[in-house]
Structure 1
Amino acid sequence: MNQARNTASDASWQAGSAEPAIRIENVTKTFGKTYAVDDVSLDIYPGEFFSLLGPSGCGKTTLLRMLAGFETPSSGRILIDGKDVTQVAPYERPINMMFQSYALFPHMTVADNIAFGLKQEGMPRSERDKRVQEMMELVQIVPFAERKPHQLSGGQRQRVALARALAKHPRILLLDEPLGALDKKLREKTQFELVNIQERLGITFIIVTHDQEEAMTMSSRIALMRDGRVEQVDPPRRLYEFPISRYAANFIGSVNLFEGVVIEQQGDEVLLQCDEAGAVLRVRDSRKMASGMPLCLAVRPEKIRLLAPGEEGPNQLTGVIREIAYLGDVSIYHLELPGGKRVQFTQSNVQALAEQPLTWDQTVTISWRPDSCGALSE
């Protein structure tokens, strides 16, 4: 996973000193008896690159559409710069939106597409032409100014849509799955370009995505959504390293979950009887845990270390390698424990392939530190 971005907006929400650019207060949206968004409250600060992340049907797009003004909350309110805009029309909000389909006018050139909103606002021609040129330079599409959308690649159309959305200098830009139509390499390249553009302009970006890697790469903070509610809001690194629930742990990256029962607490370490692992496992956690309490231990595959023959370590488990996936920079191993549970761990491929020591049906011992895993009660 990529590191969380270090942006100026981070200090704002951490210190709690800045006023939020957007405040969502107890917003609910129902369609008949179905709750698309259920009592969501969020503060999003100026200059943030904020992601609404979750699977299809979790409510993230409905929430984005309410921010844009295309949907009206059933209850609750939305404030922008302290002003209640819940009932304000989309065109009267300091917001622009970039749609998943890009929604370019097929009969217009690239330059005319970008200029359309400015022309509707009555901006003088000379000023409009200058703004269009600035936007084309920003997203690097100057050579395509006179082309029509059908003459562009998917990546080029995406840039035109972005330039058009930015041309009116909105305070806030909403992006609905903007990279979904791009291939993997172009999507990865565009992710970093979007971050660079956002940081240069200082505009608050709010993106909807179901792609965890996309959210982790670009965001200053992520709101992980589940069934219309917000499960967890945190910077990418904290969301990955310290998920608050099984759902969050499973959604972000790969994870091994061990169900067990608390035996005792020794200082800031909790001892967990885990029958499926056939061992007592240790996890660092300062919260008070009662004996007999059900608990889940979560450990990421890259936190697990392979022990040398005769070496011992905490949370030590022995099993047989059943599956190997070679991904170039890393290999993924599936270890089967005596009780049948599978544990996934990774190894960096720093040696030549011919020298790789691990193979199918090999018995190995793994270990991880108590402070490299987390305890989940939900």
Structure 2
Amino acid sequence: MAETLAAAYTPSRHPTSPLAADDAIVKLEKISKHYDSVYACDDINLSIQRGEFFSLLGPSGCGKTTLLRILAGFEVPDEGRVLIDGVNVTSMPAYLRPVNMMFQSYALFPHMDVEKNIAFGLKQESMTKAQRKDRVREMLAMVQLEKLAGRKPHQLSGGQRQRVALARALAKQPKLLLLDEPLGALDKKLREKTQFELVNLQDRLGITFVIVTHDQEEAMTMSSRIALMHNGRIEQLDAPRRMYEFPSTRYVADFIGLVNLFDGHVISHENDTALIECEQAGTQLQIHHSQPLAADMPVTVALRPEKIRLLDQYSGLPNQARAVIKDIAYLGDVSIYYAELETGKRVKFTLPNVLALAEQPLTWEQTVVLGWNADSCNVLTQ
């Protein structure tokens, strides 16, 4: 899992493309929405830049879908303002907003063929019949469904239905496309393929995409930025790589990928190097950290499994520990090892399966020495 996520972090031309800092197409100002005593969204401030592929990420019940529905106009916030392209649309009905939405269920009309499904929303536009026909033909070509234009939804695969729904959502050329768990119904391989297709399509069209997902790999693969939500608030807003490498809180570190978390307290912090006393690790932890840390301050240290390496021998230096392998998960390209430290704390580390070995390079109950660099960890104070 960790290695799979790490692969998703390879920058594409889309997530790294420059975005103008002052070119926000969406501004959410102090948005709050509650149901009885439960806050689905709690004082959210957020700007989404024009041309971004933006993800609202989080578990069920975190508020991400409510926020998307507020953007779409299906929900009205209890407090705050929604601005789209500089216009206050907080009280504007959904059908008047320059927004379209692609639903998780796709919501295709079963009695209409592909062509008519795509054309349906265009009937309300001031377009001639010929213009609508040209637009539908353009959308069919864009999603590569020209040969299936006459089929009904029940005659299509899940991936094909997903493309029809996407073409219909884009046919009206909205300024903002909202996608609610759009890939949830697809199998793993098709989902991975479609992720890159969506990124390339969005990059070509230049339309701002806002996607809701609970799938961290999906968000990491496609997004220019991610807002990770927790209990109705944004826990961290960042680019995918920074969110993975530099989580701001323990919750973020634990939600994104695999991680080892150690509780400890600060011994000293000098010259951007912190020394952490950590009973769980059975060793002192030496970590590069630029922000000031007070002596005796309680902290959490986050260490990703792929940052851990095997050492030939134990020397007693910081960032070294003996462990016994208790469980192994073979995933083909990578193996995840669950090892027990001398303190009883269990840690995870990964090794790539570079060679086609007949047997595992490590085995159960084998004693190993683990080590990691000072710049491989993160100190979390929240």
TM range (shorter): over 0.9
Of the candidates 27, 30, 50, which is equivalent to residue 23 of structure 1?
A: 27
Aligned pairs (5 A) from 1:155-234:
155-234=159-238
1:275 pairs with one of 279, 282, 291: 279
Match of 1:329 in 2: 333
Q: CA offsets, 1:241-300, max 9 Å, x none?
A: 000001000110000001001111131111111011111111111111111110111010
Give the alignment's Cα RMSD to 1 decimal: 1.4
SS for the counterpart of 1:353 is: coil
Instruction: State yes or no: 1:77 paired with 2:81.
Output: yes
Which residue does the alignment assign to 2:265? 261
5+ residue gaps, structure 2: none
Whole-Å separation in 1 of the counterparts to 2:96 and 2:16: 25
Change (3 A) 1:253 1:295: same
3-state SS of paired residue (2:151): coil
Distance 1:257 1:338, change over 3 A: same
Letter in 2 for 1:316: Q
Cα deviation digits, residues 296-349 of structure 1 (max 9, x gap):
110100011111236776500111111111111111111101111001000011
The answer to whether the 8 Å contact 2:55/2:223 transfers is yes
Matched to 1:161, the amino acid is: A
Q: Measured at CA, do residues 217 and 8 of structure 1 come closer, stay the same or move farther in structure 2, by a change above 3 Å?
A: closer
SS of residue paired to 2:284: strand
Work out whether 1:285 is the aligned partner of 2:289.
yes
Q: What residue number does 1:107 align with?
A: 111
Name the structure 1 match of 2:140: 136
Whether contact under 8 Å (1:9, 1:47) holds in the other structure is: no
SS at structure 2 position matched to 1:67 = helix
Preserved CA contact (<8 Å) 2:15 2:222: no
TM-score by length of 2: 0.95
User: 1:287-326 residue pairs with structure 2 within 5 A?
Assistant: 287-309=291-313, 314-326=318-330
| Alpha-carbon distance change, 306 to 355 in structure 1, aligned in 2, over 3 angstroms | same
> Percent identity among equivalent residues?
63
- Structure 2 SS opposite 1:170: coil
For the residues of structure 2 that align with 1:343 and 1:32, how far apart are their CA atoms? 41
Aligned counterparts of 1:137 and 1:11: Cα–Cα separation in 2: 29
Q: What code does the residue aligned with 1:98 have? A: M
| Residue among 3, 11, 19 paired with 1:12 | 19
**CA separation of 1:318 and 1:101: change in aligned 2, threshold 3 A:** same
Q: Contact (CA 8 Å) 2:121, 2:168: kept in 1 or not?
A: yes
Q: In structure 2, what residue type is equivalent to 1:38?
A: D
Where does residue 66 of structure 1 map in the other structure?
70
Unaligned runs of 5+ in 1: none
Cα distance in 2 between the residues matched to 1:87 and 1:179: 30
TM-score, normalized by length of structure 1?
A: 0.96
1:90 matched to 2:97: no
